[in-house]
Structures are given as structure tokens and as C-alpha cells.
Amino acid sequence: MSFVSRAVSAAAISLGAFTAAPSVSAAEPRNPECIAPAQPGGGFDITCKLAQASLQQSGAVKSQVRVSYMPGGIGAVAYNAVVGQRRAEPGTIVAFSAGSLLNLAQGKFGAYTEKDVRWVASIGADYGAVVVRNESEFKSLDGLMSAIKKDATSVIIGAGGTIGSQDWMKAAMAARAAGIDYKTMRFVAFEGGGDCATALQGGHVHVCMNDVGDSQAAIDGGAPLKLLAIFSEDRLPGKLAEVPTAKEQGFDIQWPIVRGFYVGPDVSDADYKWWADAFATTMQSPDYAAELQKRNLFPLPMTGEQTTAFVEERVAAYKKLAADFGLAVK
């Protein structure tokens, strides 16, 4: 699955290219607004708040970016609103995540495809992780996998989402890697990774397919949990450097969770470029790394056409995965 690494390295190269200060081509749109397509407090809210804080800090946007909420279907409601009624609002950016792209790929965004909006930027990423209790009998991913292989019903796998969601995909990919039918694994769907982590601490499930960011935050807070493996290409920086990737433990599973923004289809080229440049300027400002870290995100900077190419590649990959796992792709 080298498309991820290609995208990341391409992003790194272009980040270097940004050092030639991009010229701001259009005037700043009036009333800049960031739509978080979820309830307040979730991942999309964090994405919008990150943009709000860092765009202003870097000076790329002069007026305050305001956050509004439009929950529904990991972005489906917002996508339909922007493609349907709010096609040409230059000041409106909408947050998206890998979860949105996965639903988009499965046809859950209605009649619309990834070609229907203009992808502006990717501003950070999280990664999938395998989480167990501290005193768990599973010491490594290999141990977990051989237990599943021996008796698929002996391990209760929890996840923060239902069948077809990101967390289920991670579990299904793990099952496939262990060589068992994903339909025979013991799988329990919770509403959000936090609920799964709670059930894990209470001893109701054995392992959670969660994300690195939330899990590490819980562990930092003293929750008696540990990460068995991270679904990234290479080891992550900082204290996460101790946690091995799934790949180096012999299971080639990768699950980056990109977070970024799009604008409506009829937003002018000039305004589109203005946003892309604003994000480019912001992401190379010195404070940006700290802002990312505060929110438990890792760098994955991309702007403009590069984002579009990345999104298209991911959607195609998700479509294939969905088909592999026998999910109805409308």
C-alpha cells in the first residue's frame, strides 16, 4: 500500500516548495466559516478549531473563522448541503476526514462523488491503532493474531464504529491478515472509540481498534491501556517511537486518518487558490507543529490539486476494500 507513503513524501516535498512565499491571489472572503459536520466536541470540531486557531495565528486569515455544526453521516449532510444549496460560498470551508471519504466511496453520500467538491487541503493525520489493557495476555500483535487464528471466538474485538466504518475495516483487515474469515470474528460495535476504550477498561472487550491520538491521550491521562501496534507506514515520532508498526510485526495493515477541508464546487479558482495558499502559509509557520501536537495529530500537509489527487486515490482504494469485504457499494 505504497500510495500512502507516496502521498506523504510528495507532501513533504511540496512543503519544501512552499518556502517560496506563495502570493495571495484573491482578497480574503467575507465571513469565513468552517462547517464541522458533527456535534460539538468531536473530531470534526477539533479540525475546525485547529484551522480557526492556526489560520489566525499565522496571519493568513485576518478575520475570525467561525465554526458551525452540521452533523450527519460523517459529513453526508454537509456534503449534500454544500453540493446542493451552498455551491458558491467563497468563505465556507468544510472539514472532512478519512471516515468521510470511506462513506463517500461506499455511496453513502447520496448521488454525489468525490468529483463534486473542490478539495482544498489536508492539515494533519491520525493513524489506526490496536489497543489492549495494560495487563492484557496479549503482549504483541503477533500474540493477538495467533490467538485469533487458533480460535476466532476467543477474542472479543471492539471498535468505535459499525460494519463498514473505519474501525470495522481495521478489524476486518486484521482478521484477514490472521487468515480467518472476518465474518466469523467476534466483533462488537460501539458509538465512538471512547466508548470502546471505556468497555476495554471495564473488561467487557479484549481489544479495541481505535486511533493513536485518542488512545495516547487516554494513556497520558493514566488510563491503564497500551498500544500493541500502529497502522502506519513508519514508526511515529516522539514517545510513540517505542510502539512498533503492524507492518514491522509482519502484518501489512495501514490506516492513516487524514483530516482536511473542501469548498463548494462553484467557488472560483481565485478563492480556491486563496484558501490553499492560506493553509500552505499556515502549515509552514513555526507554531503549527505545536498546534497539531496539542490535538494529537501528525503532519500530513497537502494543499490544492495535490489534495484532490490524494482524495481520489484514497476513494478508489476504499472502494476496492469495500468490494473485497463484500459491502454493498451503491
Partner 1 sequence: MHTDRILGVAAIAVAAIMLAFGYGLEAPFAYEPTGPRAFPLIAAGMIALCGVILVWKPGEADPSVPPMPGRAIVALSGLLLAYALLFQPLGFVIATTVFMIPIAMIFGAKWWQGVLVGAVLSVSSFLLFDRVLDVVLPTGPLGGII
Partner 2 sequence: MDTLSYLIHGFGIALAPTNLFLATIGAVVGTMVGVLPGLGPINAVAMLVPVVFALGLPPEGSLILMAAIYIGSEYGGRISAILLNVPGEASAVMTALEGYPLARQGKAGIALSLSAWTSFVGSAIATTGIVLAAPVLASWALAFGPVEYVALMVFAFACLTGLLTDQPVKALLAIMLGLGISTIGIDANSGVYRYTFGSPNLVDGVQFATVVIGLFAISELLIMLETMHAGASVRIQQLGRSLFNLSEMRFTNAATLRGSLIGFFVGILPGAGGTVASALAYTTEKRVVDKTDPEGSRFGKGDMRGLASVEAANNSASNSNFIPMLTLGIPSSGTTAIMLGVLTLYNLTPGPALFRSQPDLVWGLIASLFIGNFILLAINIPLVGVFARMLSVPAWVLVPFIVVVSAIGVYSGKSTTFDLVLMVGLGIGAYFLRRANVPMAPLILGLVLGKILEQSLRRALSLSAGDVAILWSSPISITLWAMASAVLLIPLLMPRFRRWREETMTETD
Q: How would you label 141-177 residue by residue, b for 16+ Cβ within 10 Å and e otherwise? A: beebbebbeeebeebbbbbbbeebbbbbbbbbbbbbb
Minimum CB–partner distance for residue 309 and partner 1 (Å): 31
Pairwise CA distance, residues 216 & 116, whole Å = 35
For position 153 contacting partner 1 by CB under 8 A, the verdict is no
Nearer to partner 2, 75 or 128 (CB): 75
Distances (CA, A) of 61 to 35, 96, 102, 120, 292: 16, 20, 30, 15, 18
Instruction: Map the footprint of partner 1 across residues 180-219, applying CB under 8 A.
Output: 183, 185-189
Distances (CA, A) of 178 to 142, 150, 171, 182: 9, 10, 10, 10
Instruction: Map the footprint of partner 1 across residues 64-93, applying CB under 8 A.
Output: 66-68, 85
Nearer to partner 1, 18 or 69 (CB): 69
Minimum CB–partner distance for residue 42 and partner 1 (Å): 17
For position 240 contacting partner 1 by CB under 8 A, the verdict is no
Minimum CB–partner distance for residue 298 and partner 1 (Å): 29
Determine the angle formed by the axes of helices 98-105 and 305-324, rounding to 10 degrees.
60
- Determine the interface stretch with partner 2 among 7-15, 180-188, 239-247, 262-270 (rule: CB under 8 A): 180-188
Q: For the purposes of burial, counting CB atoms within 10 Å of the CB of 191, is it exposed (0-12), middle (13-18) or buried (19 or more)?
A: exposed
Contact of residue 328 among partner 1, partner 2, none (CB under 5-8 Å per partner type): partner 1
Nearer to partner 1, 89 or 233 (CB): 89
For position 189 contacting partner 2 by CB under 8 A, the verdict is yes
Please report, as ranges, the residues that interact with partner 2 according to CB under 8 A: 35, 39-42, 45-46, 49, 52-53, 64, 67-73, 76-77, 79-81, 108-110, 153, 156, 162-165, 168, 186-191, 194-195, 198-199, 201-205, 217-224, 294-296
